[in-house]
Amino acid sequence: MLKKEIKIGSKVLVDGKKGTLVWKDRLWFKDGEPADVLVKVKFDDDTPLLRYSQLILDTEMAQTINETIDKSKPLIDFSEFLKIESSLEIKVGYIIDVEEVPKSEKLLKLTVNFGDCTKIVVTNIKQSVKTYDLIEQCFAFVTNLKPSKMMGIVSEAMIIPGDLEKGNLAYMSDVAPGTKLL
């Protein structure tokens, strides 16, 4: 189904690039529904043939950008960052083993090598990842947290797994365990 009509000459956004709609095929129907017609968009360097569904109108672009900004965390002053940075230790850790925590729907127990030591990390990411996505992989960990007990297991660090909502794990490829990131 087509969105509201975008007229020739309108400013549009396609895959993050700004352009101008310069041509669109005449409307036709497929199975009683408007078809996703072909269009041409002029960019600085190219005028490709695209599908109408790929276009975002300039006003929609502003709304999309605002929605993205609204989901971001608030900006902090550099002095606030220095305060956090001076007390935080983030290192790369290599996950040796992953176990499900008995009687828990959310917790995993990770055994993690940090180069000079091995620590146990209990994390609540079980519902967001598969164990095979973690085993024998490197991730960033906050390593100077005070130990805390979860379901009877002492956790000595915290994993920074990536954007789990979008399924994007932040693997630390080609970085040795124990490498200090912060």
Q: How far apart are CA 24 and CA 155, in angstroms?
A: 59
Number of structural domains in the chain: 2
Q: How far apart are CA 127 and CA 69, in angstroms?
A: 27
Measure CA 22 to chain center.
34
- Answer yes or no: do 53 and 131 share one domain: no
What is the model's pLDDT at position 181?
A: 92
Q: What are the C-alpha distances in Å from 2 to residues 50, 148, 157?
A: 14, 53, 50
Encode the chain (182 residues) as per-residue pLDDT tens digits: 345 577 778 888 887 788 888 888 877 777 777 777 788 888 888 888 888 777 777 665 555 555 555 566 788 888 888 888 889 999 999 999 999 999 999 999 999 999 999 999 999 999 888 888 899 999 999 999 999 999 999 999 999 998 887 777 888 888 899 999 98
Of the three residues 70, 96, 114, the one that is the final residue of a domain is: 70
Of the three residues 70, 88, 109, the one that is the final residue of a domain is: 70
Q: Taken in order 134, 136, 139, 144, is the CA torsion positive or negative?
A: positive
Burial 49-77 (b: 16+ CB within 10 A, else e): ebebeebbbeeeeeeeeeeeeeeeeeeee
- Answer yes or no: do 45 and 84 share one domain: no
pTM tops 0.85, yes or no? no
**104 domain-assigned:** yes
Read off the CATH number of the domain in which 117 is found.
2.40.50.140
- Answer yes or no: do 98 and 132 share one domain: yes
- Answer yes or no: do 86 and 153 share one domain: yes
- Contacts of residue 101, Cβ cutoff 8 Å, sequence gap at least 6: 107, 108, 109, 122, 126, 150, 151, 153
| Residue given tokens 């297991």 in the structure block | 153
What is the strand order of the sheet 108-113 is part of? Answer: 118-123, 108-113, 90-100, 138-142, 158-160
- Answer yes or no: do 83 and 64 share one domain: no
SS3 136: coil
What is the model's pLDDT at position 94?
A: 96
SS3 179: coil
- Answer yes or no: do 19 and 98 share one domain: no
- Answer yes or no: do 28 and 65 share one domain: yes
**83 domain-assigned:** yes
- Contacts of residue 2, Cβ cutoff 8 Å, sequence gap at least 6: 34, 36, 37, 52, 53
What domain range is 139 assigned to? Answer: 79-169
Question: Token pair for residue 35?
Answer: 């078809």
Of the three residues 19, 36, 70, the one that is the final residue of a domain is: 70
